[in-house]
Amino acid sequence: MGPGPDELVREEIRRVTAYHVPPAQGMVKLDAMENPYRLPPELAREMGARLAEVAINRYPDPSGELLKRRLRETMRIDASLELLLGNGSDEILQIISLALAKPGATVLSVEPSFVVYRLAATAAGMRYASVSLREDFSLDAPALLRAIERERPALTWIAYPNNPTGNLFPREAILEAVRASAGLVAVDEAYYAFSGGASMLDDVGRHPNLIVVRTVSKLGLAGLRLGVAIAPPGWIHELDKLRMPYNVNVLTAAAADFLLERHDVFDRQTAAIVAERARLEAVLDGMERVTRFPSAANFVLVRVPDGPGAFEALRQRGILVRTFHGSHPLLAHCLRLTVGTPDENTRMLDALAAALG
């Protein structure tokens, strides 16, 4: 046999378990924190007409200026800050990791949190270190500060709110980590739309080593793949060199520009999701065998007596949620339930009640 992947691919990549997306055809899909609502038909038609005019024979505008202007407006981004556009915020995580991957550099995160922080660190050839959350998934702020001192991370990731736990860590504890760190602290606000306005965006620019990452995915545009990093211009100037020139395609740029101008549609949808989250929480709290964790996101984490069993029972009834049992000791028997439409949530809750007996 000639040289193949076993010999040629980097050892640490061969050890990685690929990010797994299970098949969901025909299922009630409550596993990926998607907004369950489609666009109103009239708006979808209007968007179609707009997209028909897009010159798909041409490469995208490499600067993305028009779209950046729209994002600035929608997210109320201060004029002193700059934006980096990504093919989803996943790509932003990758770009930031690559930029900071000096030989021997370390990435720090809390655990359990979003697994792509580790994946992106590994892909960039960086060391990865983590600080465990407490058993109730609250942030152990002293432990985080000790880890920053011990590991000297070039990059620290904080998801705010956190995934898969759903909670918000205290803002002051994050700022303390920013002040204590000689590296960059990246605050990932993927679930901002559901957080009741909790954000570190106002702190960007006040600290030279703080950057905020956002996405339009959870808002209702997951299929477009568009994320953004917001930072002082010096950071974006460097990070932009690692962005492939045409990473945001013309259809995504045109659709996002069109839809973000009409963001009241998504504001209404996210308000409906937040209201449903409250209903879901109340029903879950009434279930004797369910421990429910607080959420500022569009999902709710629960612990049940038999996580894998409940996951399978839901699947049998055509409902796909996410099981975390086995992925981290603190997540034993935990399920993450994405908030769907009222009807989907009712079906999920009925199935869960039946599974728990």
**Positions in the binding site for ligand PMP (CB under 6 A):** 33, 88-90, 114, 159, 163, 188, 190, 215, 217, 222, 227
What is the CA 356 to chain-centroid distance, rounded?
30
* Min CB(331)–ligand PMP separation in Å: 15
Residue-wise burial string across 83-95, b where 16 or more C-beta atoms lie within 10 A, e elsewhere: bbbbbbbbbbbbb
* Min CB(169)–ligand PMP separation in Å: 13
Cα distance between residue 295 and residue 44, in whole Å: 31
Residue tagged 């009834």 (tokens): 317
* Whether 341 contacts 37, CB under 8 Å: yes
What are the C-alpha distances in Å from 242 to residues 104, 238, 336, 342?
20, 8, 34, 42
Nearer to ligand PMP, 97 or 351 (CB): 97
| Tokens found for residue 321 | 């949620």
* Min CB(157)–ligand PMP separation in Å: 9
Residue 192: is it exposed, middle or buried by C-beta count within 10 angstroms (0-12/13-18/19+)?
A: buried
Nearer to ligand PMP, 167 or 283 (CB): 167
Q: Helices in the chain by DSSP H: which ranges?
A: 5-8, 11-15, 41-52, 65-75, 88-100, 116-123, 141-151, 171-180, 233-239, 250-260, 264-285, 307-316, 342-356
Residue tagged 């602290």 (tokens): 185
Residues β-bridged to residue 84: 229
**Angle ∠(56,253,223) on CA atoms, nearest 5:** 100
* Whether 253 contacts 64, CB under 8 Å: yes
Residue 250: is it exposed, middle or buried by C-beta count within 10 angstroms (0-12/13-18/19+)?
A: middle
Cα distance between residue 134 and residue 111, in whole Å: 9
